[in-house]
Chains A and B, each alone.
Chain A
């Protein structure tokens, strides 16, 4: 590991590993183990978890209401996936993620699922012209998927 990264990161890592586990209440062990292998009921639309899950505690130690699949949850799902992927896996098979988070794919998500417009998949329609505008406006959103991978189509023009 590079010396600089070590120098900056190691003290914080040590702090976490040594001190913070000490404040863990043992009673919370049972909560985490409630995450099932798969959701007992197959869901066909973006769920409002709180419609069935009326208790406010449990899964990944976050209130269940924060996982309601509202429009802003879907647009910011990366924050939850980065912290609580185990819970995502209870409902979503890997293929659900790889429909978009693919590697060297040539078909856009909206081309794979043209009959599912309600999913608001990215880059719908003929995106070729519009991508120049969006790319200038916010290249960060492009970079997340196409900055280092999944850019075969990009490389036809952008060498």
Chain B
């Protein structure tokens, strides 16, 4: 755990001790997930990483006014060729939420937590406050230090912003949001957003958002979805997305998102639709189509169908899609099939994916991956599973991964 994580964890634990009376009844939930994987790389070198994921949830059992959540993982390479440390770990989330009111119309959060409000989808070390002024309108404000992977030092970094919204019952919700992020004290990311939900007719729904990059002075993204419900068993969806690479990817922590790499001044317009029909309570069919249109690159279309069913304790699904693009790499057929059977204490599943390329790459035209898993419930609170993957792709002619997993869940109270 990095030092910032340790400091934060200490802060959250101290805050919990201060805020929550020791005598308060609490529901406590602890989950431990252990994974041990075995696999080989393309040069037949063996690897065996071990992972331990721990989650702790605690909440006010009496009034529901506070809850505490912590999740963390630790990894150790039992076998590796890497010269770096064999150990790594991370504090994923650690926060305390408190509301002075039982209905939580005012909610305060502190610690490492996710802000998902309009234009903001950011993990921060900081505080946030949400106030539902009335059921029809409210405001969220947040501030702290953004949690960004291995980018640079965190000194001089900050992130703050908020969202306000207005609702018209059963008709509309409109939100306005702002995000301002500084890195080493300099402007890094500044975005404003409008999010929208509309029900203009009883069976017609519109939702979406538009984000504006105030540093590049351009719209980074428009994303809107139209849903129609002509019958209880039928949903028709149309979608429209437009992304300007210069504005959407101006802030990034990976070079691969640079417009210089993806295409300077490129814009992507993605439009499509989906029709979902419930054939019966147990069987659902979906037909979908998406068209990808670019300013400088060639266009592509992705279309196909899928069906999923749950019959006599067996879940089954299958899909077939065709990618039809202007370039050779965007011409292939993708198919998938899965089935999962539940019998007392056991679950068995098989999942297979296949990409059949029109043109062979590295001598491989038919790429596939197959997974088989057996899960056994040792008790009400403990399950174990054994999983094996076998794949053939243009990168790895043959690849096998085996994984053993043990999950333990403890529920208690005080």
- Does A138 have its Cβ within 8 Å of any Cβ on chain B? yes
A24 touches B197 (CB 8 A): no
A147-B253, A155-B149 given as contacts; is B393 within 8 A of A128 (CB)? yes
Neighbour of A28 across the interface among B69, B136, B339, B351, CB < 8 A: B136
CA distance A15 to B217 in the complex (A): 23
Q: Look across to chain B and name the residue whose beta carbon is closest to the beta carbon of A133.
A: B329
CA distance A8 to B192 in the complex (A): 8
A interface residues, tally (CB under 8 Å): 91
**Count: A-B pairs, CB below 8 Å:** 297
Residues in A70-124 with C-beta less than 8 Å from chain B: 70-72, 76, 78-83, 85-86, 93-95, 97-98, 101-107, 111-112, 114-118, 120, 124
> Which residues in A have their C-beta under 8 angstroms from that of B180?
1-2, 5
Picked from A50, A62, A114, A135, the residue with its CB within 8 Å of the CB of B403 is A114
Asked if A63 contacts B137 (CB within 8 A), the reply is: no
- B139 on the A face (CB < 8 A): yes
Interface string of A2-18 (1 = CB under 8 A from B): 10110011001100110
Is B321 at the interface (CB under 8 A from chain A)? no
For residue A39, CB closer than 8 A to chain B, the reply is: no
Closest Cβ of chain A to B57, distance in Å, is 7
B51 in the interface, Cβ–Cβ < 8 Å? yes
Decide if the interface of chain A is mainly helix, strand, loop or mixed: helix
**Contact yes or no, B137 A20, CB < 8 A:** yes
B249 CB–A CB distance under 8 Å: yes
A114 contacts which of B173, B212, B323, B385 (Cβ < 8 Å)?
B385
- In the bound complex, do residue B170 and residue A61 qualify as a contact, i.e. CB atoms below 8 Å apart? yes
Given A2-B190, A146-B254, CB of A28 within 8 Å of CB of B135: yes
Asked whether B10 is an interface residue with its Cβ less than 8 Å from the other chain, the reply is no
A63 close to B170 (CB less than 8 A): yes
Cα(A146)–Cα(B35), bound, Å: 23
Contacts of A143 in B (CB 8 A): 248-249, 252, 257
Contacting pair B276 A115 (CB below 8 A)? no
B134 close to A24 (CB less than 8 A): yes
* Size of B's binding interface in residues, CB under 8 A: 134
Are B241 and A61 in contact, with the CB atoms below 8 A? no
Q: Report which of A9, A32, A150 forms a contact with B149, defined as CB distance below 8 A.
A: A150
Task: Name B239-273 residues within 8 Å CB distance of A.
Answer: 239, 241, 243, 245, 248-249, 251-257, 262, 268, 270
Q: Which residue of B lies closest to A4 (CB)?
A: B214
Check if A40 is an interface residue, CB within 8 A of chain B.
no
**Which of B197, B310, B317, B399 has most chain A Cβ within 10 Å?**
B197
Interface residues of A (CB under 8 A from B): 1-2, 4-5, 8-9, 12-13, 16-17, 20-21, 23-25, 28-29, 31-33, 37, 45, 50, 56-57, 60-63, 65-66, 68, 70-72, 76, 78-83, 85-86, 93-95, 97-98, 101-107, 111-112, 114-118, 120, 124-126, 128-130, 133, 135-140, 142-144, 146-152, 154-155, 158-159
The contact sample of 14 A-B pairs, CB cut-off 8 A, is A2-B190, A5-B190, A9-B176, A21-B136, A31-B169, A82-B118, A102-B92, A114-B371, A115-B373, A117-B349, A118-B338, A137-B330, A139-B268, A158-B256
